[in-house]
Structure 1
Amino acid sequence: MKDKWGRTIDYLRLSLTDRCNLRCRYCMPEALASVGHDAVLRYEEMLLICRAALALGIDRFKITGGEPLVRKGAVAFMKALKEMDGVRSVTLTTNGLLLSEALPDLVRMGIDGINISLDSLDERQYASLTGGGELSVVRQALEQAAAQCVNVKVNAILLAETRDQILPLAELARTYPIDVRFIELMPIGFGTTLAGLSEAETLSLLVRAYPDLAATGERRGNGPASYYQSRYLQGRIGFIAANTHAFCASCNRLRLTSTGFLKPCLCYDDGVDLRPLVRSGQGEDAICQALQHAIAQAVHEKPAKHCFGEQDHISEHKTMNQIGG
């Protein structure tokens, strides 16, 4: 479906949980209280929302968290979603710590892609950034996924303190047939407390190592990343630069929090609460009709652009784990 700005909205990022087994500094570094289990949507409620979204032409789904794999039954939910009529793709974003165990089932269900969050290949730095994460576990999962010919992307947040990790991370795309994407730090939640790097700064470092690095114009997923290729790399180098290269004119997404709040834009706290609708006690068809109306309302209210360059105008103050990565 199209919003009032003429953009096609066909992509829903769906958070299964606000809980995580890491404490990344820019996401949830403190012992934040998690929402109660009763507040989190049940899987059948999420599937009802997806059914309503499909009826409106939203057929691409990204499963996020928190860390989605900490929630029991996450893979079974993804399988059920993948099997719904009309679903074009189901992909997963994970920190990788639980991926090795889940990978065989993910491959069997036909997962369309796995994004692994990985900001540093230095063991000490990785542990410091994540609150004690084990890099070797993530590296093993990455290698296993690549060996299974899964569409793997590494997502690395651009932090000033990980500047020396840009080239080592890019080398993953030389070693494996995967894409490595560098993401500008979002000025949301704890992201406002850290210094980031820009796409331009990062690209200047990469071009020195790969002089033939050139933009491809490819679309290699559901989102707005721009990609570069080099004859030295098996995969691509990607950038998601919401701060310096706003892609709002082509934004195609909505975000659903684990508690059922549908957000048209990451920058603002506006949206539509779908939880009362799925728990209204009506029949499934009536609930789906109500959900379709509410989702269409959210699409209609989607703003023309974000305001990340104007900190005083950002109205979203929740942390990224609460919103959905």
Structure 2
Amino acid sequence: MLQDNYGRQFRYLRLSVTEACNYRCNYCLPDGYQQEGRPSFLSLTEIRKIASAFAQAGIDKIRITGGEPSIRKDLPQIIEAVKATPGIKTVALTTNGHRMEKYLDDWVAAGLDRLNVSIDSFDPRMFNSITGHDALESILRALDKACATSIGTIKVNTVLMRQYNLREFEDFLSWIKDRPITLRMIELMETGDNKQFFHDNHVAANELESSLISRGWQRQIRAKSAGPAKEYFHPDFDGRIGFIAPYSKDFCSSCNRLRVSSLGKLHLCLFGEEGYELRPYLDDPEKLIHYIHQVLGLKLPTHYLQEHQSGATKHLAMLGG
């Protein structure tokens, strides 16, 4: 089992397969993805080796992220390879959904267990304003289709922004009234490229949590391999709502996830100062696993977002959030 110096155990790996993205979300890549040089993203063979090593070290859940992972034509093969890794029980995917209507069947056939789709507004005009794309209707059709597949868990991620979608909060709740989908409200996070935008738009999740609790929503018990969201359920709703609140005082104490970038670097925190190169060890599984354990000893007790320190993270597409 992977464990750091503070007793936190790690069962969950977020594996980025590209940092490129086809969206221009105002909180992440308002000018679109700007390629620097010719990045060498992880190959399918390298992904297999990384998945195998982490599985041998105790990881049992891998989430495939980007950028936007569906940009890769071999995404079904990536899902299939990770799913076939001994020890991996759950393969999840986070996507903006832009290509989901076309490729969902391929992802399901490859063995996808869980699906997270980013939707920051259910108003087509606001969606376009935030993402730079008029694709909401296609994504919603694909979501309905996904609900009828073998995918076990479907979640929708929404980044809260005071000047954009905060006024839609009650609409978000109405949307999950009759849908077995978990809606996750994510606090806007400060990065190197969005400092003024963060200042103008950050919303503290606890403001909304208090409102829900007063209306009868109850806290869901968190699974060992679950992500960082605090989830709530209500007996009158088919769906659930969760909050990812990195600015809350206890956020880092339950950390159970590590990150590998699309360039093959292990990141101990989304807002850490550096990544640790895994590629030199990929041909020797024993050395790779030893190195992962060694690096984990460097993990800090917390991030420093409250002090406006976002580490080396320029934008969230670098590590998939």
TM-score scaled by length of structure 2: 0.92
Report the secondary structure of 1:154's partner residue.
strand
Q: Structure 1 residue 254 and structure 2 residue 273: aligned?
A: no
Distance 1:51 1:207 in 2: 42
**Residue 191 of structure 1: CA displacement?**
4.2
**Residue 318 of structure 1: CA displacement?**
2.3
Q: Structure 1 residue 122 and structure 2 residue 123: aligned?
A: yes
Q: Structure 1 residue 299 and structure 2 residue 302: aligned?
A: no
Report the secondary structure of 2:48's partner residue.
helix
Distance 1:74 1:98 in 2: 12
Distance 1:302 1:174 in 2: 40
Report the secondary structure of 2:47's partner residue.
helix
Match of 1:229 in 2: 233
Match of 1:111 in 2: 112
Match of 1:180 in 2: 183
Match of 1:281 in 2: none
**Residue 187 of structure 1: CA displacement?**
1.3
**Residue 206 of structure 1: CA displacement?**
4.2
Distance 1:38 1:247, change over 3 A: closer
**Residue 200 of structure 1: CA displacement?**
2.0
Farther-moved stretch of structure 1 (96-105 vs 68-77): 96-105
TM-score scaled by length of structure 1: 0.91
Distance 1:274 1:40 in 2: 13
**Residue 84 of structure 1: CA displacement?**
1.1
Distance 1:20 1:36 in 2: 16
**Residue 38 of structure 1: CA displacement?**
5.2
Instruction: Indicate which of 215, 219, 222 corresponds to 1:215.
Output: 219
Distance 1:152 1:78 in 2: 16
Asked if the contact 1:271–1:298 (Cα under 8 Å) also holds between the matched residues in 2, the reply is no
What amino acid is the match of 1:181?
Answer: R
Instruction: Indicate which of 302, 311, 323 corresponds to 2:319.
Output: 323
Report the secondary structure of 2:3's partner residue.
coil
Asked if the contact 1:272–1:294 (Cα under 8 Å) also holds between the matched residues in 2, the reply is no
Mapping for residues 257-296 of structure 1, pairs under 5 Å: 257-278=261-282, 284=283, 286=284, 288-296=285-293
Distance 2:33 2:22 in 1: 12
Mapping for residues 84-103 of structure 1, pairs under 5 Å: 84-103=85-104
Distance 1:158 1:260 in 2: 30
Distance 2:12 2:148 in 1: 28
Match of 1:159 in 2: 161
**Residue 221 of structure 1: CA displacement?**
5.9
Distance 1:31 1:217 in 2: 38
Distance 2:32 2:39 in 1: 20
**Residue 207 of structure 1: CA displacement?**
5.5
Distance 1:205 1:103 in 2: 36
Distance 1:266 1:247 in 2: 13
Asked if the contact 2:20–2:33 (Cα under 8 Å) also holds between the matched residues in 1, the reply is no
Distance 1:307 1:42 in 2: 33
Report the secondary structure of 1:19's partner residue.
coil
Instruction: Indicate which of 193, 204, 209 corresponds to 1:198.
Output: 204
Structure 1: gaps of 5 or more residues: 279-283
Name the count of aligned residue pairs. 315
Match of 1:171 in 2: 174
Deviation digits for residues 80-124 of structure 1, max 9, x if unmatched?
Answer: 110111112110000111112221122223311100111111111
Match of 1:25 in 2: 26
RMSD in angstroms over aligned alpha carbons? 1.9
Distance 2:268 2:260 in 1: 9
Report the secondary structure of 2:146's partner residue.
helix
- Work out the percentage of aligned pairs sharing the same amino acid: 36
